[in-house]
Structure 1
């Protein structure tokens, strides 16, 4: 599907679009099969596109039909981007959005055709993201496989059949990295209050969370098993977990936080 004749068109080469682009090139997609449309790329991105021989346009060019159209612009400017992008859509084009809050119905209204709505998260920038997707009825098995292949360069891809679940995905994994970053902030502050120098407390917290994440990534064990493995009876970890796992501990607070994000995602989509 991706070829110079029916190129992979990326609209928006910011952080997420740039991460996708880097992954595509590393996966072996030829630079000549990619067209980037971005009116104001960063200087570094503009140089990179030029050095790699990737075609870059500041506006949607005439006479181009995309094989895959990847929409990587912010939700608040999506509608303006879609008006000229419609000319890129042909009968065999699949359009893939990575923007939060924009529904399949929105893209069907403005683009028509085969639509995949996806929600990645920011660890995609280091190839450790996760993306959830939902497709409309016009997406063929081949189109779905193509979208899966392109999105998976930044991490695993999960598919759901019910678009309503995308709001919960947004609340859990889409917004989730911010929760982890805030956890690091809280851990470091708690360490400072126990007497550690602030900079040392932050280094310890960052390394602990990133290391635990990598351990969980590599281990076949579930999160609960990993937690149990480092918790000695009556030890320091058990003392901390008694607070975190109490009835008014971390779980009800996380329930409230993710529910708030879920309801906000529903409101934005509505």
Structure 2
């Protein structure tokens, strides 16, 4: 693994900004980063940091050893086509576009007979924007061990990382951690509304709900006890928690969560098939 890391972000939005915050000044200099984005105000913000910028793919891409595609899925095929003339044999390509399989991307960058396999597909989530994300990573066969180390360092700068083996598992990552923040936000909203209905004001309910979710999550992460044991420690027989859990169980709360995750997984697979077509 070389000490020099040169990067091009194709798409300079929020996710690219989050990843760059973990890189610039730590793993590389601003002058090692090139950003391609059609949005001039976005490029102006990058340029102020000292990066090079362009509104369309240019020859600077050929000088960058890692490309990170951070565009919306519906624009990825066009972006790949525009960047492909500058692709080098040793370019490492990372995609954070949801719903587009690594094999599809390999075909776009190469040919049906000779796909380009120096690709890592990533499914991050929005808490990466504050350095508390969770990302699933999938490497194709052309990615070396050193390449994987570099990509892992990159995404660990913005949260936790899990490597998986297949695009199907990336769909599962999408259902769990990719979409998961939305499930949590909905649960927090429900807690706040429940607190208000029972006599708390909105500020009180919000403070308690956020602290409860944050504290419970941290306890689960730090404790050696199982989640079931932690739950039982809160639940006194015949007590308030037992009464609340009885309602959740009667409404099949765990099954509903799993059904929601399956719907997300199924939709991820559908999107992958649509984009591959």
- Which blocks of at least 5 consecutive residues in structure 2 are unaligned? 111-115
- In 1, are the aligned partners of 2:61 and 2:83 still within 8 Å (CA)? no
Structure 2 counterpart of 1:181: 185
| 1:58 aligned onto 2:27 | no
| Distance apart, 1:209 and its partner CA | 1.5
| Distance apart, 1:195 and its partner CA | 2.3
Structure 1 counterpart of 2:252: 249
What per-residue deviation string (whole Å, max 9, x for no partner) do you get for residues 209-229 of structure 1? 233223334444443333233
| 1:21 aligned onto 2:25 | no
Distance in 2 of aligned mates of 1:32 and 1:218:
39
| Distance apart, 1:26 and its partner CA | 5.5
Q: Which of residues 200, 214, 219 in structure 1 aligns to 2:218?
A: 214
Change (3 A) 1:213 1:253: same
| Distance apart, 1:198 and its partner CA | 3.3
Distance in 1 of aligned mates of 2:252 and 2:168:
29
Distance in 2 of aligned mates of 1:179 and 1:153:
24
Change (3 A) 1:220 1:23: farther
* TM-score when normalising by structure 2: 0.88
Instruction: For 1:135-214, list aligned pairs within 5 A.
Output: 135-214=139-218
What per-residue deviation string (whole Å, max 9, x for no partner) do you get for residues 72-111 of structure 1? 1111111121111113321111100011100112211221
| Distance apart, 1:157 and its partner CA | 1.3
| Distance apart, 1:41 and its partner CA | 5.4
Distance in 2 of aligned mates of 1:197 and 1:63:
55
| Distance apart, 1:186 and its partner CA | 0.8
Distance in 1 of aligned mates of 2:67 and 2:44:
20
| Distance apart, 1:192 and its partner CA | 1.9
SS in 2 for 1:156: strand
Distance in 2 of aligned mates of 1:89 and 1:160:
26
Structure 1 counterpart of 2:240: 236
- In 1, are the aligned partners of 2:34 and 2:61 still within 8 Å (CA)? no
- In 1, are the aligned partners of 2:34 and 2:60 still within 8 Å (CA)? no
SS in 2 for 1:130: strand
* TM-score when normalising by structure 1: 0.90
Distance in 2 of aligned mates of 1:222 and 1:41:
50
Q: Which of residues 74, 85, 89 in structure 2 aligns to 1:87?
A: 85
Structure 1 counterpart of 2:230: 226
Aligned length in residues = 266
Question: CA RMSD, aligned part only?
Answer: 2.1
| 1:120 aligned onto 2:119 | no
- Which blocks of at least 5 consecutive residues in structure 1 are unaligned? none
Structure 1 counterpart of 2:113: none
Distance in 1 of aligned mates of 2:9 and 2:73:
15
Instruction: For 1:37-48, list aligned pairs within 5 A.
Output: 37-40=36-39, 42=41, 46-47=44-45
Distance in 2 of aligned mates of 1:77 and 1:2:
32
Change (3 A) 1:19 1:222: farther
